[in-house]
Structure 1
Amino acid sequence: MPYIPEITGAPSHVALPAHVPLVREPWGMLKSLRAARQNLLSIIPEVATRQPMVSGKTGRRWHMVMDPDAIRRVLLERVEDYPKSLVTKNLLRPAIGESLFIAEGAHWRWQRRAAAPVFSHRNVTNLTPVMSAAAEAACARVEAAGPRAINLADEMVRATFDVISDVTFSGDEGFDRAAIHRAIDAYIAEAGKISLFDMLGLPDWVPRPGRMVSGQALKEMKRVADASIEGRRQGGARKVPDLLDLLLAGEDPETNRQMNTGELRDNLLTFIVAGHETTALTLGWALYLMGFDQAAQDRARAEAQAAFGKGTATAAHLEQLPFLRQIVEETLRLYPPAAILSRTAQKEDTLGGRDVYPGDTVMIPIYALHRNQLLWQDPDQFRPERFENRKAIQRYAYLPFGDGPRICIGASFALQEAVIILATLLARYRFTPVPGHTPKPVMILTLRPEGGVWLQAEAV
């Protein structure tokens, strides 16, 4: 039995924040497909929150793994034997090519070595003013909205897109941010819908009808990115280097290889899509939880105001905001943006005492892992105090950014951005829920609050 950290300060029987009712009976392929197209989380069996592993067959053999030791084997010890699944690659390759998120083997390794310095502690810290400026702009929009209810989910998408576009293409007046944003939304809306062809494992050249719609938007997005890259090559780096400058300068220390325009573009688009969508979702869910738990909100506000009053949050304030970080980490536990990881076994193996064969789909349902009763006390409750002692959390029981060599390269960037924006908003406003507007957790490509996060904001 794994060690489960004890949590004090909250009753065991309290109202639960929004969660997904998981399936309690086996479904066939067509029913699973229909459900998956509406909400991928709905196909997770409820038993996955009570067992270390669940296996079955829906067209092909699959295994859902919640055992930390088995997950460690998949993500770290035998990572080459468990590449990302064809479904994942088919969904994302049209938008981000063979970038870090999709590439495998040697092609992935050299890109990772070239890009790793971009997200060093120093570089991420240098980008803090951009995050603070986006937080200030979000506060101004909240202020301008007055006393009416605001969809904070939409506001957070705008705030994080401000950040990622500023740190990616700073000073590029020719960069059409609105066009990029529309293209990303169009692609996510269509490509995120699980296709029956993908579930059956049909090859890429078989057309996916639901994915044809966004093709023109993707072409335009890539054209704009390519033009910006070539323009920067001609114009030179900024005084404070942004992500594009850092990637242009980056090289693999083992081979001295640098990214060409196509590789730069694919990785930039990966950072743009992942760097704003996932952080926006985390912030939207965190603000929902602040409305849900007013006591936690009061404590977070007091911490933020003690650190920087109602002024501007900076990198120097981050160490003074431990409870804000705990809130972000607990939000990522309850609502992980990438709520399911999918791999395809290449060799025979044994996971959790069960045989795995080549071609089997091995899923790590992060949503179920983070709510597994064998690993967490009162797992459906919002309890930021779980993260007071971060070392007490079993490493492979908490995976909001994945783990192993393919852990999210921008994790520190995302956490810093989320803490700064959340702290700034809470230092200035009290958020209260709007009756009848509880968001529904729905995963298509990422875990979104369906219906929005509607809150009322009152200046404090």
Structure 2
Amino acid sequence: MTDAVLYPARVPLVTEPWGIFKSLRMARRNVLSIIPEIATTQPMVSGKTGLRWHMVMDPTAIRRILLEEVDSYPKSRATKSLLKPAIGDSLFIAEGAHWRWQRRAAAPVFSHRNVSNLAPIMSGAADRAVDRIAAAGPRAVDLLEEMVTTTFDVIAGVTFSGGDTFDRDKVHSAIDDYMAEAGKISLFDILGFPDWVPRPGRIMSGPALKDMKALADSAITARGARGHDGVPDLLDLLLEGEDPKTKRKMSTAELRDNLLTFIVAGHETTALTLAWSLYLVAFDPAVQDRARAEVQDVLQGRTATGADVENLPFIRMIIDEALRLYPPAGIISRTAQKPDTLCGREVRPGDTVMIPIYALGRNKLLWEDPDAFRPDRFADRKAIDRYAYLPFGDGPRICIGASFAIQEAVIILATLLGQFKLTPVEGKQPKPVMILTLRPEGGVWLKAEPLAPLAPDTNPVS
């Protein structure tokens, strides 16, 4: 058996030192390609490419960066330069007091109750995905494109459920354009140039971003004027949200930036998680058969609902393993603000400190046979070091929408596996490539064969 058959797709990591210009050229093609191979066998790797940098894979040191000394390690200048044109000084980018009050105001939006209330929108999108895939016939289908469509359907539904005037296609197009071009790392980012120095790709994407923000502003103003009916969606909850300490509410601009943050993060990352999960279950037929047996036992031919999520543990394990192998945010980057010591090594103010989530999930000190696809690693989550598995980050800045993303992914993956048998298309293996997020370049092309329908449960759980 060849290595390619034994292991799913992976990124060839660096085995020799590169200069700054080669690093820049390779990073613009695939950020993950600049990670050294030794990052999968060491607790920490350091170097200098224009600026001093450190890659940290040791869970104790990562805990220090993300939790114990979080204020000493704010998001890096490069991260802010990449994202600020699209999402402003929102929750994802803000620091200090400005971040804290926004977090307090937004936290109730993603409470368990509110997330559960949005499950029917996820189930409806899953049903529409099944219809589209079935209508495509027996030919191969790009499941990446399908999952992007499905998760944007979800995020649009949970954000603008009241039928506000909001051009979804225009917003979707603007996001894609920005991530494809303006999100690429610039030499100016690597060298730490200030934000006011223009980045050519981000200048070209300016008109689309301006239109997108104007559309969001109009929808927010319209919703604020008319209120809402029925189950509140994300926009309703954000409009009502306030900092419990100061009673401060978000302005229209702050609402818009955070709403666009949730739209970008809430559909792109979940779409990628689902696309990689579908690729992996097609890669391993035994895993797919086991997952389908669980789905058929629980769902009995119907669409998954929010109440089913906790009864589908193996589906959740597949998603967890997909996130370990292909984390949407493949690298977390911080800038040290004061002298520190990590893994016995000096860190100076201004150093870039990276947590390469991709390498962390494949580090041989932390995982047995880490390149292998083994969902059962997550059968006992308590046995996994909390800071060895970080698809959503951790500490006070852990992803606010993590529970939303997991619920959505479980509902959609379970629904699809209950309806189709998935097999790979020869010669169409995806290539993991990261610009802003870790995408399967070339798509996830699978054959989706409809299954014989089961008799629906006469007393379904709702």
Aligned counterpart, 2:304: 313
Measured in 1, the distance between the counterparts of 2:129 and 2:192 equals 43
Measured in 2, the distance between the counterparts of 1:36 and 1:238 equals 47
| AA matched with 1:299 | R
Aligned counterpart, 2:63: 72
Q: Superposed, which structure 2 residues align to 1:258-407 within 5 Å?
A: 258-407=249-398
Q: Superposed, which structure 2 residues align to 1:221-236 within 5 Å?
A: 221-236=212-227
Is it true that 1:174 corresponds to 2:165 in the alignment? yes
Aligned counterpart, 2:399: 408
Structure 1 residue 173 displacement after superposition: 4.0
Measured in 1, the distance between the counterparts of 2:250 and 2:29 equals 38
Aligned counterpart, 1:15: 6
TM-score calculated relative to the size of structure 1: 0.97
Measured in 2, the distance between the counterparts of 1:447 and 1:317 equals 28
Aligned counterpart, 1:3: none
**Stretches (4+) displaced over 6 A:** none
Measured in 1, the distance between the counterparts of 2:4 and 2:203 equals 48
1:201 to 186, 192, 201: 192
SS of aligned partner of 2:54: strand
Aligned counterpart, 2:439: 448
Measured in 1, the distance between the counterparts of 2:45 and 2:393 equals 20
- Compute the RMSD of aligned alpha carbons: 1.0
Kept in 1, the 8 Å contact 2:164–2:222? The answer is: no
Structure 1 residue 212 displacement after superposition: 1.3
Structure 1 residue 313 displacement after superposition: 1.0
Structure 1 residue 213 displacement after superposition: 1.4
Is it true that 1:82 corresponds to 2:73 in the alignment? yes
SS of aligned partner of 1:259: coil
| Paired residues, number | 449
SS of aligned partner of 1:343: strand
Aligned counterpart, 1:38: 29
Q: Superposed, which structure 2 residues align to 1:18-29 within 5 Å?
A: 18-29=9-20
1:51 to 42, 60, 63: 42
Question: Deviation per CA, 1:209-242, whole angstroms, max 9, x where unpaired?
Answer: 1211110000010000000000001110231000
| AA matched with 1:278 | T
**Structure 1 gap segments, 5+ residues each:** 1-11
SS of aligned partner of 1:373: coil
SS of aligned partner of 2:6: coil
| AA matched with 1:83 | P
SS of aligned partner of 1:338: coil
| AA matched with 1:38 | R
Structure 1 residue 253 displacement after superposition: 0.5
Kept in 1, the 8 Å contact 2:141–2:447? The answer is: yes
Aligned counterpart, 2:244: 253
Measured in 1, the distance between the counterparts of 2:26 and 2:4 equals 31
Kept in 2, the 8 Å contact 1:238–1:245? The answer is: no
| AA matched with 1:424 | T
SS of aligned partner of 1:57: strand
Question: Deviation per CA, 1:304-362, whole angstroms, max 9, x where unpaired?
Answer: 11111221211121121000000000000000000000000000000010000000000
Measured in 1, the distance between the counterparts of 2:275 and 2:326 equals 10
SS of aligned partner of 2:418: helix
Q: Superposed, which structure 2 residues align to 1:231-242 within 5 Å?
A: 231-242=222-233
Measured in 2, the distance between the counterparts of 1:350 and 1:173 equals 52
Kept in 2, the 8 Å contact 1:172–1:228? The answer is: no
Kept in 1, the 8 Å contact 2:164–2:223? The answer is: no
Question: Deviation per CA, 1:180-212, whole angstroms, max 9, x where unpaired?
Answer: 000100111112211001111111111111211
2:54 to 51, 60, 63: 63
Aligned counterpart, 2:449: 458
Aligned counterpart, 2:83: 92
Structure 1 residue 14 displacement after superposition: 6.8
